[in-house]
Amino acid sequence: MFDLLNSVVFFIVAIGVLITFHEYGHFWVARRMGVTVLRFSVGFGPVMWRYKPKNSLTEYVVSTIPLGGYVRMLDESQDKVSEDLLPSAFNRQPLYKRSAIVAAGPLANFLLAGILYGMVFMIGTDGLRPIVGALVDSGLAAKSGFLVGDEIQSVDEKPNESWEQNHFYLLDKIVSREAVEYEVFNDSGHRLLTVDFGELSEVDLQTASIENVMGMYPATPLIRPIIAGLVPDFPAEQAGLRAGDEILMINGHDVSDWNDLVGLVSQTQATQLTVRYFRDGIENEVLLEPRIVERNGATIRQIGISVNAEEQLRDSDATVTLRYGLFDSLLRGFETMWSTTVLTIKMLVSMITLEQSADSIGGPIAIAEHAGKAAEAGINNYLTFLALLSVSLGILNLLPIPVLDGGHLLFHVYEAICGSPPTERMLIVANQIGLFLLICLMGFAFYNDIARIF
């Protein structure tokens, strides 16, 4: 219940921020272009809150359905406009002004994404050091000359200070099937290695990570099996185990790290476990029965303990924290925004051409789920999630589909070429087609959401 509430709350926050910023882009440019704005609305449907300043024609409202918003401008096609307000009507503006107002919404989303990424860089990001820990013998990285212990210092001359730093750049190169030059360092000195992603067969980036694509994995420190927390009324707590206890053995099998412990407990067929642990300089043993639980359709066994992996990683020399000043953060933020925009467009094109599966398209349920998980993972994860969603919203609105901003810009292109706007009949038909396409897209997204659940 808490997870559901958490997801709903952070979904509403995410959608509210993105829609408000998008609509404010339209609003701000319209006001600068001298157009009268009658209503600025966040959400659709019945109005929950409204405010209209004195001596202003603009009404600000928040509506009940938070899946969109709009800026209603004075327009002779929709309103009876008095003579004195005609110069401020939207339809009376030159084509370049109308186009700027329409394009301002999606552009505001790209601006927001750059700022959000910049905030992430200012707060600081934790990551693994860029050291190769394991290679698949037949993998692309091994064939390209990588060795275990290599430290990746640059990617196409871009500095590489953590394993995750150039993630979006590499995804872009994989989708484009381009070659990438790595500078690596080990005890033998520096080397330049070229990885040609054009050698790859078809790659499904919905399910495959960069590590799996390359057959190369980072060096990770062992997580000591020291109990950080216990689940109330689970076997570990009932048997008397405490936070701070270090697990040494389970049913006679040595436990050297947390992964050993998880594997031994979750896959055991024994009805009872003898757990040997270390506390206050003394080794002790307890007997407990693992509890059978269902997770993602699979049956596993748990004893109800957790480990503080993040704290252990921070204390090790296998991680780095990257933090930058204001200017550098914003510069890196907008570079990341550009990379994610290009990558998203390429992924969209590959879905249209059936090179990639469209199963990753998600609707409100998927967005809410990701919003909750990102928020639980920390402020940086939530800001990154918002940035990615803002880029997606900007691209979606620029698609040349009538009823979207991109459709309106398409009409403006028609007007620029033909010298006059589309006829009313053309607009009606085009908007009907656009609405049908949008409903189909939303229906497909909902279908994917439901398919993931069941």
Best mean pLDDT range from 292-296, 344-348, 413-417, 433-437 = 413-417
* Residue 133 pLDDT > 50: yes
Tell whether 356 and 335 lie within a shared domain: yes
CATH label of the domain that carries residue 262? 2.30.42.10
Tell whether 214 and 265 lie within a shared domain: no
The whole-number average pLDDT for the span 193-201 is 86
Say if 113 falls within a structural domain. yes
Tell whether 361 and 396 lie within a shared domain: yes
Helical residues (DSSP H) of 267-404, grouped into ranges: 309-315, 326-352, 364-376, 379-398
How would you classify residue 281: left for phi > 0, otherwise alpha for psi between -120 and 50, otherwise beta? left
Tell whether 256 and 357 lie within a shared domain: no
Question: pLDDT tens, 23-58?
Answer: 999 999 999 999 999 999 988 888 889 999 888 889
* Residue 304 pLDDT > 50: yes
Residue range of the domain that includes 182 = 126-220+316-322
Question: pLDDT tens, 185-194?
Answer: 998 899 999 9
Tell whether 435 and 381 lie within a shared domain: yes
Say if 48 falls within a structural domain. no
Tell whether 115 and 163 lie within a shared domain: no
Tell whether 445 and 346 lie within a shared domain: yes
Question: pLDDT tens, 208-252?
Answer: 578 888 888 888 777 888 888 888 888 899 989 998 899 999 988
Query: Exposed (0-12), middle (13-18) or buried (19+): which is 161, by Cβ within 10 Å?
Result: middle
d(CA 370, CA 385): 8
Nearest CA to 221 out of 278, 139, 163 is that of: 163
Q: Lowest-pLDDT range, 119-123, 165-169, 306-310?
A: 306-310
Tell whether 188 and 269 lie within a shared domain: no
Tell whether 405 and 335 lie within a shared domain: yes
Q: What is the pTM of this model?
A: 0.76
The whole-number average pLDDT for the span 315-325 is 78
pLDDT bucket at 2, cuts 50 / 70 / 90: very low
Tell whether 249 and 179 lie within a shared domain: no
Tell whether 149 and 181 lie within a shared domain: yes
d(CA 301, CA 290): 6
Q: How far is CA 218 from CA 151, 229, 358, in A?
A: 10, 27, 29
Percentage of residues in the chain having pLDDT higher than 70: 85
Give me the catalytic one of 23, 183, 246, 355.
23
Query: What is the structure's pLDDT at 381?
Result: 82
For the chain, the average pLDDT equals: 83
* Residue 378 pLDDT > 90: no
Query: Exposed (0-12), middle (13-18) or buried (19+): which is 153, by Cβ within 10 Å?
Result: middle
Say if 44 falls within a structural domain. no
The gap from C-alpha 409 to its chain's centroid, in whole angstroms, comes to 27
Last residue of a domain, one of 255, 272, 307: 307
> How many C-beta atoms lie closer than 10 Å to residue 411's C-beta?
20
Task: Assess contact for 302 and 295: CB atoms under 8 A.
Answer: no
DSSP letters, 2-66, are: HHHHHHHHHHHHHHHHHHHHHHHHHHHHHHHTTPPEEEEEEEEEEEEEEE--TT-S-EEEEEEEE
When divided into structural domains, the chain yields a total of 3
Last residue of a domain, one of 274, 307, 340: 307
* Residue 114 pLDDT > 90: yes
d(CA 276, CA 158): 48
Say if 32 falls within a structural domain. no
Say if 41 falls within a structural domain. no
Query: What is the structure's pLDDT at 103?
Result: 94
Tell me the one-letter amino acid at 393: L
Tell whether 340 and 452 lie within a shared domain: yes
Q: Which residue has the higher pLDDT, 318 or 363?
A: 318
Q: Which residue has the higher pLDDT, 390 or 269?
A: 390
283 catalytic, yes or no?
no
d(CA 450, CA 454): 6
